[in-house]
Amino acid sequence: MRRSGSGRRLLAVLLFGLAGCAGIPDTVRSLPDEDIAVELVDTPFFAQDRYQCGPAALATALVASDAKVSLEGIERKVYIPGRKGSLQFEMLAATRTSDRMPYLLDKSLAAIVAELEAGRPVVVLQNLGLSWIPRWHYAVVVGIDGNDDRVVLRSGTDSRRITPIDLFLRTWARSDFWAMSVIRPGEMPAIVDRARYFDAVVGLEQAGMAESAALAWQAALDAWPDNPTALFGLGNARLILEDYAAAEEAYLAMLAVRPGFAAAHNNLAFTLAKQGRFQAALEEISRGLEQATDQLLVDELIDTRAMIELELKNTAEGLRPTD
């Protein structure tokens, strides 16, 4: 009798502990439709070796998006042997260098469902230990079923792990609901936050994936026509690709919606100089200097002018014999 009494107390403590963890906000938990049932059965599966859940999960999502990658290639990019794991930062970086755009989802099951319905599995970071003995784990959500109360995951060595929704939410909550979708450049996330989308595209630009960035900015312009940031970004992507005529067109379109935007005058001047149109380039610098209020921008414009004048001088000297 005594034993069962203390057992009951233990059970009560355990239940209380679980209840304490279950403080999941309704905004995270609620499904768009209680009867929702979606599963991407064709999602590939890569069984992980020991600690390498990061590479396995990322390879799953990348291959599902038709990226030309191998598990070994992804391992080299994200796995840190000393840490026996991967950082979220590296997961994002490896996605970019695989010609895909990582997009961090809203912190909600509904956001995962929306991505699944768009045909994209979702990489999540879970903590399968206790909050004070962490065991971080990346897995891929491939299905959610509201009726049967379950989340279907590609996880570890389990090609189809089924977890009750509440248990999934508790393990996911400890990463502050980190969830990432792998977007083919040119496609839009199912639920899109414009600022976050722009940050994602800038990530592509900074990773040197100009072709992908150009596609992503073009998609932004389809969603938000004449958006100046997207026009400027498209100009930059074209500039990196050395497609100067297209870059010029984008900067001009940006200046049409944002007259006097000094940074666009600067980059347009740069683009014109690249095409050998030095006088027009110098005029753009002057227009930029008339408008620029920020000292950093003024400095950039002056630097660009110096560069244009140098190239003008070099070209003039080079051309003299034929002039």
Partner 1 sequence: MLLRKSRLFVLQLVSVALICTGLVQVSWAGAIGTEQIIESDARATSIERIDALLAREDVASQLQEYGVDPAVIEARVRGLTTAELLALENRLDQQVAGGDALAVIGIVFLVLLILELVGVTDIFKSI
- Least separation in angstroms between residue 264's CB and partner 1 is 8
Q: Does 33 bind partner 1 (CB under 8 A)?
A: no
Q: Does 159 bind partner 1 (CB under 8 A)?
A: no
Main-chain phi, psi angles of 247, to 5 degrees = -65, -45
Strand 136-145 relative to strand 150-155, pairing: antiparallel
Q: Binding residue for partner 1 (CB under 8 A) from 75, 187, 205, 284? A: 205
User: CB-based contacts of 256: which residues, under 8 Å, 6+ apart?
Assistant: none
Among 53, 22, 79, 200, which residue's Cα sits nearest to residue 137? 53
Selected range binding partner 1 among 55-63, 135-143, 302-310, 312-320, rule: CB under 8 A: 302-310
Q: Binding residue for partner 1 (CB under 8 A) from 21, 36, 118, 202? A: 202
Euclidean distance between CA atoms 104 and 135, whole angstroms: 22
Find the helix packing angle between 194-206 and 210-223, rounded to 10°. Answer: 160
Q: Does 193 bind partner 1 (CB under 8 A)?
A: yes
Selected range binding partner 1 among 56-64, 133-141, 144-152, 224-232, rule: CB under 8 A: 224-232
Q: Does 161 bind partner 1 (CB under 8 A)?
A: no
Among 214, 276, 226, 273, which residue's Cα sits nearest to residue 252? 226
Q: Does 103 bind partner 1 (CB under 8 A)?
A: no
Q: Binding residue for partner 1 (CB under 8 A) from 270, 278, 285, 287? A: 270
- Least separation in angstroms between residue 13's CB and partner 1 is 35
Q: Binding residue for partner 1 (CB under 8 A) from 79, 136, 177, 232? A: 232
Find the helix packing angle between 228-240 and 262-274, rounded to 10°. Answer: 30
Selected range binding partner 1 among 3-11, 33-41, 168-176, 227-235, rule: CB under 8 A: 227-235
- Least separation in angstroms between residue 217's CB and partner 1 is 9
Residue 141, H or E segment = strand 136-145
Euclidean distance between CA atoms 261 and 89, whole angstroms: 33
Q: Would you state the structure tokens that stand for residue 18, as one six-digit string? A: 């679980």
Find the helix packing angle between 278-291 and 295-319, rounded to 10°. Answer: 170
DSSP 8-class letter at 67: -
Q: Does 304 bind partner 1 (CB under 8 A)?
A: yes
Q: Binding residue for partner 1 (CB under 8 A) from 28, 31, 240, 252? A: 240
Q: Does 242 bind partner 1 (CB under 8 A)?
A: yes
Q: Check: CB of residue 268 under 8 Å from CB of residue 245.
A: no
Residues that bind partner 1 (CB under 8 A): 191-195, 198-199, 201-202, 205-206, 223, 227-229, 232-233, 236, 239-240, 242, 258, 261, 263, 266-267, 270-271, 274, 297, 300, 303-304, 307
